[in-house]
Structure formats: C-alpha cells, structure tokens
Amino acid sequence: MSNTKEISRRRTFAIISHPDAGKTTLTEKFLLFGGAIQTAGAVKSNKIKKHATSDFMEIERQRGISVATSVMTFEYQDYLINLLDTPGHKDFAEDTYRTLTAVDSVVLVIDSVNGVEEQTRRLMEVCRMRNTPVIVFINKMDRDGKNRFDLLEEIEKELKIQLHPMTWPINSGKDFKGVYNLDAKSLLLFTANTKANEEDSMFIENLNDSVLNDKIGEKDANTLREDVELIDGVYGKLNSEDYLSGNVAPVFFGSAINNFGVKELLDTFIKVAPKPLDRETSKRVVHVDENKLSGFVFKIHANLDPRHRDRIAFIRVCSGKFERNKYYHHVRLDKDFRFSNPYSFMARSKDIIEDAYPGDVIGLFDTGNFKIGDTLTEGENFYFTGIPSFSPEIFKELVNKDPMKTKQLEKGITQLTDEGVAQLFTQFGGNKKIIGCVGELQFEVIQYRLLHEYGAAAEFRVLPFYKACWLTSNDQKKLEEFLRFKQQNSAEDKDGNPVYLAQSEWFLNTEITNNPDLQFHFTSEIHK
C-alpha cells in the first residue's frame, strides 16, 4: 500500500536562531495556530509562572534558555507538522547541528534590532552544507531596529544567501503599522497586544487605491507604494525551485510576541516547504516512498520524566511505515527489537502512536540500546550518513566527589554523553575520564543533571587541550606507535576510536607534519 498521501501532507522543520531572537515565542505561536496549546507559555502572571511549552528541563526553566531540542507535532490545515525547536545558545550548537540532519527545511529567526549575530552565521553554514531550504522571519518589528533595506542587505551579505521578501513592513518600533503581503496583495494592520483572530486584514490589489491612505496615512502609503514597486522590480515572483534548492530564502516580517505576521509565514510555509525527501546512506539512496521502514536516531534524552528513569531515543522516519509492536532491525547491534510504546511529542506530553510515516519524528523508549546515528531497518544493513560529531573546544577531567556513588556517576556520564550533550574520552593507559564540550554552560548542565537525576556529585578540572582529532591510518603499526609515544595526549572516544588531544594549534600542526601516515580528522562522522 502506498504511503504517498501521508508523506505529501508532512512538513518537518527546525526553528533556528541566535539566543533571544524570539525562537521559542515563534514556536508557541505556531502551536497556538495548530490548536496544540491554548495559551502561550510566554504569558507570565504573578501568581502562576507559565513556562515556554518547549523548554522542559528544570535547568532550562531556571535560566530561561533552551538547552535541548524539543520535538512538537501538530496539525494545521490538513498538514501534519513536525516542528523541532532547537537551542539557540552556542554552547549547545552540536545538538542543533544534529537536529538539522533530521529536518527537511528550516525557519531562521532574526532579531530586527540586532540583525545577523554570530550564532546565526554558524547555523546557516550547517544549512548551506546540506542545501537546506530556509525561510527567514524578521522578528521584533514593533521595536526600533535597523532600516528594512539595510537589514536585507546585511542578511544577504553575512549569510551568503539571496532573499525574497514575501511581506513588507510599514515602519518599525512605535510607528510600526503592519505589513503588506506581496503575494496575497493584502494589508495586515498591527495593533500591539492583539490576538491572532483579531488581526485586521484586507485585500488591496491596487496600492494606488485611496483606501490605503485612509488606513495608514498618506505619507506611509506613499512610502509603501515606492517600496513595493522597487521590490517587485528587483525580486519579481518567488521561484519555488530556487527556494527548494537552498539558494533563495523567502522573508517575512512580524512580531512573534504579538502573534503578528506569523500566520502569513505558516500559510506560505505549508505551501512551499518540501515534503520529506530521499536520503543518502552508506550503501545507496533511500527513497522516501519505499515500502520498507528505515530511520535514524538523531537525539537521545534521558529522564524526560524525572519520576521515571526513562530514556527516549528520537528517530526520524525516512522511508516505509513504522508500526507499533512490529520487529525492526537495529543495524549496529545486529539485533531485532519491537517497540510497544512509540511516542509522538507535544513538548513534555507524550502520546502513544500506532504508526508513523516518513518525515515523522517519534520517541522510542530505550534501555540503553541506542546511540546517536543508529539506524533501524526491516533487515537491510546500512547507515544514514552525515550525522556529525564535532571537535570540542573545552576539555575537563571528571572528578568523583563521592566514591560511594561511583556506579551512579558512571551510569550518569555514560547516559548524558550518549545524549550528545558532551563527548566522553578515556585517556590511554589509564582511566581518566575527559569530558569535551563546545561551551562552559554544558559543564554546568552536566554537573546539575548528574546530581539531580543520578545522585552523583562531581566536579571538573580544567585540562590544557585545544582540540580533539580523530585518527585514522592505513598503517596500523604507525598508529599504535604514535598513540604509545603520545600517551599523555592520547585517548579513545566512546566507540573505541583513537583520538589525539592537542595542547595548541602549533603542537597539532607539528604532529600533522611529522606524521604523514596518519590522518587527523576534526569531525567524527558517526558510522563513517
């Protein structure tokens, strides 16, 4: 039986941004439109502090930042949307990079006040590596920000992508009056603190119509007419192929906190965004409409519910149909498993599902069988490629503060590093455990979670390493010799792969020059 109908109604995307650009707020507005939540978590009252739906870890609620990718599924206009809200903070970039392997497109949120920021650049680089289609939402138009033309120019230059405005703002900051939808030829008027269903939208095909003057005033109406004429002349109509190939990004303006301009974005998104796509594997291209199931683990989360020591593996379905209680083949372990409680997610709440189709992200209860990058199939042996593990930037030794809790610490650090929040290396010739992270905040999260979720008290001791390089060589003897000679700087990762820990760029370059028979890799693509 063909799954074509189910596949064509699915849209799987991630929302990415620099911290504080309004990503989690935009996520919530999407969920409101989909009827998945009734009130926005950003609403705070003195008596009840409601928290952002997608920030579900205790430390996230305390700090008000997302540190783990949340998965949310909702229906909108007969489409089934899988939305992945990613951490914006650079210390958790690796979780975001991996999430981008599980989606078909991306919505990039940019703060109109700050423009393109450092993390935005890094995230766009990852999107460009895969030619992921991108839609840009320029947020916070109700604040005094950059000139709209200057902002477009900055985004195009900094992110090296062509833009195509789909809506156009009328002023910004306290003078922000709304947006004109260039495609639908409709005017959307802005009033601060309005709800989505109270938005004042009207069809104005001819901008020379005097009704425009009545609505926004003659001066602003004339500016809009000039802007739209210029935009039409420069950009013309959106070519959907250019968008799908990742060369052109449609742009929307709005204010997520006021739920303004979000519906236009969502309505265009479901029309133009790609349906689930074919995927590369180590053996062949897996086509989305194949009958046999395949999928891969891109994220693992321990203790989603602290009352039950549960561990969930998030799987992106790539082909076939996933069915509850059916046996599937775990390629790395060469074993068959069946799953009696597969979940779909609405942030913290989980619903048991009977089946899932390509594009869907499902959660499988895991007792420790899964690692990031693992593949499930109906018997065929291959791995999905391109799920990276990057070289950490900060290295610290894990020190046990309570010898009575050694077992808990071992279990905790194994599970947390299985999740991909950090990388675990064991020094050669000893059992020193070295944790490698992209940022300091990750160490705080690990320490906090070890104590609160596993009852293990630990501290970290800074180590003088600059980079981790995975080593390969056609000459096994040379490799073993190098590792023995450089024992202080040699370790292995969790999968037993040899790693060289360089103290500085100079040491690293010296070793690369002195050891032509060895290859030094800065990413370990899982299951190369």
Cα dihedral sign for 486, 492, 498, 499? negative
Give 68's pLDDT tier (boundaries 50, 70, 90). Answer: very low
The total domain count for the chain is: 3
> Are both 176 and 130 inside the same structural domain?
yes
According to the model, what pLDDT value does residue 311 have?
75
CA distances from 198 to 169, 180, 194, 205, 216 (A): 19, 17, 6, 22, 18
Q: How many helices (H) and strands (E) does the chain have?
A: 14, 31
> Are both 404 and 340 inside the same structural domain?
no
For 102-165, the DSSP string reads: S-SEEEEEEETTTBS-HHHHHHHHHHHHTT--EEEEEE-TTS----HHHHHHHHHHHHT-EEEE
Give the bridge partners for 470, in sequence order.
Answer: 499, 521
491 CB-contact burial (10 Å; exposed 0-12 / middle 13-18 / buried 19+): buried
pTM given for the model: 0.77
> Are both 434 and 486 inside the same structural domain?
yes
Given a cut of 70, is residue 156 above it in pLDDT? yes
For the residues 287-312, what does the mean pLDDT come to? 77
Given a cut of 60, is residue 31 above it in pLDDT? yes
CA distances from 233 to 168, 181, 207, 249 (A): 14, 16, 15, 17
Final residue before a domain boundary, out of 377, 406, 438 = 377
The whole domain housing 472 covers: 394-521
307: CATH: 3.40.50.300
> Are both 250 and 290 inside the same structural domain?
no
**Mean pLDDT over the full length of the chain:** 82
Give 155's pLDDT tier (boundaries 50, 70, 90). Answer: very high
> Are both 89 and 219 inside the same structural domain?
yes
> Are both 176 and 243 inside the same structural domain?
yes
> Are both 443 and 330 inside the same structural domain?
no
Label residues 192-206 b or e (16+ Cβ within 10 Å = b). eeeeeeebeeeebee
> Are both 478 and 493 inside the same structural domain?
yes
Cα dihedral sign for 242, 244, 247, 250? positive
Within-domain flag for 383: no
| 354 three-state secondary structure | coil
> Are both 87 and 126 inside the same structural domain?
yes
The answer to whether the CB of 15 falls within 8 A of the CB of 269 is: no
Over residues 173-221, the pLDDT tens digits come to: 888 888 888 888 888 888 766 554 445 677 777 778 788 888 888 888 8
